[in-house]
Amino acid sequence: MSFDVNTISPPRGGFVGGCYEPMTGAPFELRSPSAPHIVFEERSASQEDIDRCVSLASGAVKSSGWAACGPRDRARILHRWADLVDARLEEIAILEALVGSRPYHEATERDVRVVAMALRQFAAYAETHESAVTATPHHQLSYTRDMPYGVVAAIAPWNFPLILSAWKFAPALAAGNAVVLKPSELTPFSILRVAELGIEAGLPKGLFNILPGAGGTGAALVRHPGIDTVSFTGSTVTGAKVMAEAAAHGLKPVSLELGGKGAQLVFADARDPDHVADLIVRGITYNSGQVCFAGSRLVVQAAIRDRLLSLVEQRMNGLVEGPTWQKVSLPPIINATQLARIEAIVQTATDQGAELLCGGEPIADAQGRSFFQPTILQSSDTDNAAYREEIFGPVLLLDTFESFEEGIAKANHPEFGLAASVYTSNLDTALAAADQLDSGTVWINHWGRAADMTSPFGGVRRSGFGKDMGRAGYQKYLKTKSVWVERAVP
Catalytic residues: 182, 257, 292, 390
* Cβ closest to ligand NDP, residue 301 vs residue 370: 370
Q: Considering the complex, what minimum distance in angstroms separates the CB of residue 241 from ligand NDP? A: 4
Nearer to ligand NDP, 86 or 343 (CB): 343
CA 142-145-151 angle, to 5 degrees, is 150
Give the residue with the Cβ less far from ligand NDP, 214 or 281. 214
In the complex, minimum distance from the CB of residue 147 to ligand NDP, in angstroms, rounded to a whole number = 25
Measured from each CB, the residue nearest to ligand NDP is 218
Measured from the CB atom, the residue of 214 and 420 that comes closer to ligand NDP is 214
Q: How far is the CB of 419 from ligand NDP (least distance, A)?
A: 11
- CB 421 → ligand NDP: shortest distance, Å? 17
Q: Which is nearer to ligand NDP, 210 or 304 (CB)?
A: 210
Q: State the minimum distance, in angstroms, from the CB of residue 457 to ligand NDP.
A: 11
Residues of this chain that interact with ligand NDP (CB under 6 A) are 155, 157-159, 182, 184-185, 213-219, 222, 233-235, 238, 241-242, 245, 258-259, 292, 338, 341, 390, 392
